[in-house]
Amino acid sequence: MTDQNSQARAIAALLDSAAETIRSLCDTIEAANLPATPHHDATIESLGLGGRATRSLRYMGIETVGQLIRHSADRLLQEQNLGETTLNEIRTKLYDLGLRLRCD
């Protein structure tokens, strides 16, 4: 049983390391390929999001669309009061502008 637990811990550590590497690579790629658009300086209010989404983003310190698209869906979901429904609302509004969240 000890060998199995040891193996499970080693696999979990390896998976965590791989996930961190993927996140880091995604950050690097996104930073290098992030085109500037007129929407980047637009306020999040200009997206026409509901109150919950706007308040949650403001609480996170996100003021502009450019700041918003630098965040991943996973990062947004870590925020209290921002769930899948709100995330989908944000994604839809960004999609309408031809934009997306990081790593989407």
Q: Is 36-104 CATH 1.10.150.20?
A: yes
Q: Which pLDDT belongs to residue 36? A: 56
> What residue spans define the domains of the chain?
1-33, 36-104
Digitized pLDDT (tens) for each residue of the chain, 104 residues in all: 677 788 878 888 888 887 787 777 666 666 555 555 667 788 999 999 999 899 999 999 999 998 999 899 998 998 878 899 999 999 999 999 888 998 87
Alpha carbons 26 and 64: distance in angstroms, whole number: 21
pTM of the predicted protein model:
0.65
Residues 6+ apart with CB under 8 A from 98: 37
